[in-house]
Each structure stands twice: as structure tokens, then as C-alpha cells.
Amino acid sequence: MKTNVMSIRTEPQLKSDIEKLYGSFGITVSDAVNMFFHKSLMVGGLPFDLKIDKPYVITKQDLDDRINNLKSGKGKIHEIVEVEE
């Protein structure tokens, strides 16, 4: 029997969006939090990898340099082969 109550603070739009998302699965936010807790216990930690995704950033100067290299003949030619499934 679930008897403890927890309270969290979050942004109103996030709460609304997550309620709609979980509602589309037929579960409540409370159900999802309990699932998260159970999975955390099963795996002995957070049930996902904690990492910083570093986006691949290219500047306008990088693009200009690459275009100039191609124009000066320093680029590589690659053959494109189409494969049918």
C-alpha cells in the first residue's frame, strides 16, 4: 500500500507536458516516478547513463576553410553507392 507522499518542484510547462506524455501511456506521473524508483533499485543507480552530450559544433570559419580546400583541389572524392534493401 502506498502511503508516503513526496513533493517536487518543477516548471509548470514541464509538468503539463509530462502529464500529457504519461497519460498517453495510461499512467500517472506518480506511476512513472514509482517505476523510476523500482528500476533504480534493480540496476543499483540511475536507470540511464549520466553524461554530457557534446554537440558537434562547426563554425562559419570551419565551413569557409573546407569550401576553400575543396575549391583548391585539396578535397577527397568519394564514390556513392546506392544499396537496395
Task: Assess if residue 85 is contained within a domain.
Answer: no
The range of the structural domain enclosing residue 15 comes to: 8-48
Task: Assess if residue 59 is contained within a domain.
Answer: no
Question: What is the distance in angstroms between the CA of the first residue and the CA of the last residue of the chain?
Answer: 52
Nearest CA to 48 out of 35, 63, 67, 31 is that of 35
Task: Assess if residue 13 is contained within a domain.
Answer: yes
- 50 or 22, which is more confident: 22
pTM confidence score: 0.56
Task: Assess if residue 71 is contained within a domain.
Answer: no
- Is residue 38 very low, low, confident or very high in pLDDT (cuts 50, 70, 90)? very high
- Give the Cα separation of 85 and 83 in Å (integer): 6
**In the chain, what percentage of residues exceed pLDDT 90?**
52
Task: Assess if residue 84 is contained within a domain.
Answer: no
Domain count, the chain: 1
Task: Assess if residue 58 is contained within a domain.
Answer: no
Task: Assess if residue 43 is contained within a domain.
Answer: yes
Task: Assess if residue 44 is contained within a domain.
Answer: yes
